[in-house]
Structure formats: structure tokens, C-alpha cells
Structure 1
């Protein structure tokens, strides 16, 4: 009967992700962050893109959470 070594742990090497594959996703995430920050922080103000108060009401608590004044 063979004995197994219970302390042997297989080594897993991290896989390198090329910057060329990561760059489009990083750009998309940055653009999405800018759009979300705009709608939470500046919409319904001097640079309003949409009329009415619907956007303001949807992001009202997020504005306060992130420190943007709204009233």
C-alpha cells in the first residue's frame, strides 16, 4: 500500500494578462465611472442633459453618500 504525502500542495502560477487585452476593459470601466459620476454628481444642475427631476430622485441618496450637495 502506498502512502500519500498530505502536506503536498500543488503550486499554481499566476497567469500574466497582457496590457493589450486589459486596456479596452480598463477604458470601458473608466468611461462608465465618469458617466456614473456625472449622473450622480452633476445631473439636474448647471450641466443638465435631461429635463425634469427623475434622474435627481433616482440618485439622490447616492449624491449624499458620495458627498455631493443637492439642496
Structure 2
């Protein structure tokens, strides 16, 4: 009794091309949004502030500590 080992059939996988022109606006949007979030978490209610009072500071307070930003 002979056991023949056969190779598994191979299939070609087509990798879609991602056009940079379609990706660029989304990358710009995400970059600007991330910068805005970083500003609110790190700098607002400090030397630069967009709002008066401490509401925004208290809203992002735990996030500041989580990201190791000093706020006291």
C-alpha cells in the first residue's frame, strides 16, 4: 500500500491597489482630527484655552493622567 502525498492546490489572490489620491483626503481629515483631540486633552485649560471655566478640563481630566500629561 503506497501513500501518495499531493500538494495542495494553489490559488492566486488579487491584492487591490489603493489609489493615493482617494486616500489622501481621509488621511488629512484623520490627522487634523487627531491634532484637535490632542489639543483638547493636552493643552486646553492650560496656557491656551478655547473655553472659559473648567468644564472641558474636568471632562478630559482622566485622559490627561492616562496619557501622562500634567494638569495640576
Tell whether the structures are fold-level matches, with TM greater than 0.5: yes
Q: Which runs of 5+ in 1 are unaligned?
A: 1-6
Cα distance in 2 between the residues matched to 1:15 and 1:64: 41
How many pairs align? 67
1:17-52 Cα shifts (integer Å, max 9, x gaps) = 110000000000000000000000000011111011
- Runs of 4+, deviation exceeding 2 Å: 7-12
Match of 1:22 in 2: 23
Which range is displaced more, 24-33 or 11-20? 11-20
Match of 1:58 in 2: 59
Match of 2:5 in 1: none
Question: Structure 2-normalised TM-score?
Answer: 0.82
Q: Which structure has the bigger radius of gyration?
A: 2
Deviation at 1:11, TM superposition (A): 3.6
Match of 1:49 in 2: 50
Question: Structure 1-normalised TM-score?
Answer: 0.83
